[in-house]
Amino acid sequence: MKKNINLNIPFYSQNNSLITTKGWERKICWLACIKMCIDFFNWKSLSLEELLKYRNKKYKFLNLNSWEEKEYKYYIKWTWWLHYGLLSIAKKYWLFWICEKIDVENITNYFQEQLENNICVITSVNLDFKNQNNKWGHLVIIKWIKYKEKWVTFIVNDSIQNNWNIEIESWKFIENFSWNIILISQTNQEKFSSNSPIFINQYPKNIKKDGVKTTYFHIHENERTALKESLKFIKKNSDWELFYIKQNWERFLRFTTVWEKWKKIFLRIDPNRIFSNSELKKTLIERNYHLDIKYLNDAILVSENIRKYIINKLNLDKERNYICVHTNKFLDINDFVWKCELININPTFSKNSFIIAPNKKYFQLIKKQWINVMYYSNENDWSLRNYLQSNWYKWFTIETWEKDQKTYKYLLEKLNSILNQNN
């Protein structure tokens, strides 16, 4: 007999008499389930009343079918709660999730595997586990599985009940199960990260384009000092703007392509290595050794569309300055000497902090500030910088060590001063 696995998931009832949730009692099983999962992973989440305020918050994402940006409220009257919107609340607590319709032969074994891996399983069922209530979609959490000699029962947290540990025989559960589930985990996996939406945020949101002189672009989400310091700097400079990619707080963007029925290939790309048609195939293969060559064209198409999305979002203009903001852990400016036409190394300056200049004029201007700076024009590294250079846009790259906030701020200020004096 299999071992009983019991996740000690706390219970919250959605039947709340507080004035702020009046009228919502039958509509917030989603919020109750999200709260139970967040609290299970040792986080103190918001109250149901506070979570309910998310109903007017907007969820933004890039539709990978139409390649259009979409925006929906978390709560829409005719569809109720938007699953992906609410699950983004869990992401704020550094939790990972996936929402899918499953097709498995043995649902008990499937649930057992998730619980053994400390994964919360939210399931969509008929209200009160009664077939006549199938017009009422409802969510419950599988807490543990109880194995008896002749049958199996599922122990669930059902937020519409006033007590927890509701015991449902497996046959009755399956009879009322929609086969739609949500998995929430504290540990990331390919299936979780590939499920997260890709989106490019803009700050400030409603800036007038004719007033913008300089555009920052933050392309690697894990380089957080670059984003943090750039945002702080732009708040003091109204004629600058910042675009930054959001998905999984990591360097790579994740996505899937359909392999066969119910099968998916989980893929990843470096968004700063997709700006060359000739090398796109190479970079996909290098990052995805498991990719079958017969599905390569599908992966290339997705990568090309991500590239188009980035370029269109930047709204490129030859009169504007473009600054690619980065941080690093191991770069050393001395390693670039062999490929540079011009390079200036200040021995008193951090070796992994430097600016890449777009031309010889700006190289000389930056050099006068006693900053590490380089200029080179003959390398195709498939990056956004290379794309901007080859199309004659005025671009710069800022690099510092990941933890060096002071130097990053200094480079931003110095480059700003140079641009203001020479535009």
pLDDT at 318 over 70: yes
> Do 281 and 234 sit in the same domain of this protein?
no
Q: What is the CATH number of the domain that holds 105?
A: 3.90.70.10
Q: Which of 51-65, 309-323, 344-358 has the lowest mean pLDDT?
A: 51-65
Q: Which of 25-34, 169-178, 331-340, 402-411 has the lowest mean pLDDT?
A: 25-34
Task: Let me know if residue 127 belongs to a domain.
Answer: yes
Q: Mean pLDDT across the chain, nearest whole number?
A: 85
pLDDT at 261: 53
Task: Let me know if residue 412 belongs to a domain.
Answer: yes
pLDDT at 406: 95
pLDDT at 230: 94
Tell me the β-bridge partners of 185: 96
Minimal CA–CA distance to 126: which of 160, 151, 95, 150? 160
Average pLDDT over residues 377-393: 84
Give ∠ CA 391-392-395 in degrees, rounded to 5. 105
> Do 209 and 69 sit in the same domain of this protein?
no
CB 276 within 8 A of CB 300: no
pLDDT at 245 over 80: yes
Task: Let me know if residue 13 belongs to a domain.
Answer: no
Domain region containing 92: 19-189
> Do 131 and 184 sit in the same domain of this protein?
yes
Structure token pair of residue 353: 């902090």
pLDDT at 366: 96
Q: Where in 321-384 does DSSP place strands (E)?
A: 321-328, 342-344, 354-356, 373-375
Task: Report which listed range, 69-73, 158-162, 167-171, is most confident.
Answer: 167-171
Among the three residues 297, 313, 329, which one is the final residue of a domain in this structure? Answer: 313
pLDDT band at 191 (very low <50, low <70, confident <90, very high): confident
> Do 87 and 215 sit in the same domain of this protein?
no
Task: Let me know if residue 223 belongs to a domain.
Answer: yes
Average pLDDT over residues 347-364: 94
Average pLDDT over residues 138-166: 85
Dist CA 137 CA 127 (whole Å):
6
Q: Please state the separation of Cα 281 from the chain's center in Å.
A: 24
> Do 337 and 413 sit in the same domain of this protein?
yes
Average pLDDT over residues 302-321: 91
> Do 332 and 360 sit in the same domain of this protein?
yes
> Do 355 and 221 sit in the same domain of this protein?
yes
CB 286 within 8 A of CB 303: no
Residue 197, preceding peptide bond in cis (omega within 30° of 0): no
> Do 297 and 392 sit in the same domain of this protein?
no
Q: How many domains does the chain have?
A: 3
pLDDT band at 162 (very low <50, low <70, confident <90, very high): confident
Dist CA 354 CA 375 (whole Å):
11
Dist CA 399 CA 47 (whole Å):
42
Dist CA 180 CA 137 (whole Å):
11
> Do 100 and 213 sit in the same domain of this protein?
no
Q: Where in 329-393 does DSSP place strands (E)?
A: 342-344, 354-356, 373-375
> Do 306 and 336 sit in the same domain of this protein?
no
> What length does the chain have?
423
Q: What's the pTM value of the predicted model, to 2 decimals? A: 0.82
Give ∠ CA 329-190-118 in degrees, rounded to 5. 105
Task: Let me know if residue 217 belongs to a domain.
Answer: yes
Task: Let me know if residue 9 belongs to a domain.
Answer: no
Task: Let me know if residue 47 belongs to a domain.
Answer: yes
**Any residues with CB less than 8 A from the CB of 343 and at least 6 apart, and which?**
333, 336, 337, 373, 374, 375
pLDDT at 212: 60
